[in-house]
Amino acid sequence: MYHLITGLYKQITRKDEYNVLILGLDNAGKSTFLETAKTRFTKNYKGMNLNYITTTVGLNIGQIEIAGIRLSFWDLGGQKELQSLWDKYYDESHAVIYVIDSNDRERMNESKELFDKMIKNEYLSGVPLLILANKQDLEDCMGVRDIKPVFQQHGHLIGRRDCLTIPTSGLTGEGVNEAIMWLVEALKRNSIVRPPKTLD
């Protein structure tokens, strides 16, 4: 009887864990997006002041538990010297969030080249892809209508995976809830192809 109850308890309380990469150029707003998401989805979490978030050097990790699953975010630094390390995380990831600074027209082509290089990697084949047109709170930023065609020029690289491009602002929280909820559903749909880790 004890083993039956213990087994049932483990079955009820176990969680599936998905690893989500957050990629993009430095200063795109990756860490701000993650901090805002943690604040929105983690009960009693007192987030840090978003104005004091600095550029990530290396790796920033965050977790959210939602809809019976755990999302483990790996926010990787976007500086040139750190981009070469990204592919070390690809084979363990279940989804990618690619963050674009919608206000940085000067580096849009650089971000696009980095995106294309990342999406070509075989270890990311088929994983859900969430593209954030971030910093929509800034007055002269590019909208999704401007950004989406640029990043989907090579649609064959994106393939038939779940993919969504949405406007966001890590500072104001615009689009953050929608992004996380879409991600949860996409991960569940893709779990047959790339199963989650099971946590007791």
For the annotated catalytic residues, the residue numbers are: 79
Give the HSE-up count for residue 6: Cα atoms under 13 Å, Cβ half-sphere: 3
Q: Is 117 a known ligand-binding residue?
A: no
Q: Is 26 annotated as a binding residue?
A: yes
Q: Is 56 annotated as a binding residue?
A: yes
**Does residue 25 have a known ligand-binding role?**
yes
89 DSSP 8-state letter: S
Q: Is 109 annotated as a binding residue?
A: no
Rounded distance between C-alpha atoms, residue 157 and residue 155, angstroms: 5
Annotated binding residue at 28?
A: yes
Q: Is 136 annotated as a binding residue?
A: yes
79: which 2 tokens? 């500086």
Q: How far apart are CA 71 and CA 117, in angstroms?
A: 25
Q: Is 27 annotated as a binding residue?
A: yes
Q: Do 76 and 85 touch, CB atoms closer than 8 A?
A: yes
Is residue 25 a contact partner of residue 107, using CB atoms and an 8 Å limit? yes
Binding site annotation covers 24?
Answer: yes
CB contact burial 74-112 (16+ within 10 A = b; e otherwise): bbbbbeeeebeebeebbeebbbbbbbbbbbbeeebeebb
Q: Would the annotation count 135 as a binding residue?
A: yes
Which residues sit in the known binding site?
Answer: 24-31, 56, 78, 134-137
Binding-site positions for GTP read 24-31, 78, 134-137
**Binding site for Mg(2+): what residues are annotated?**
31, 56
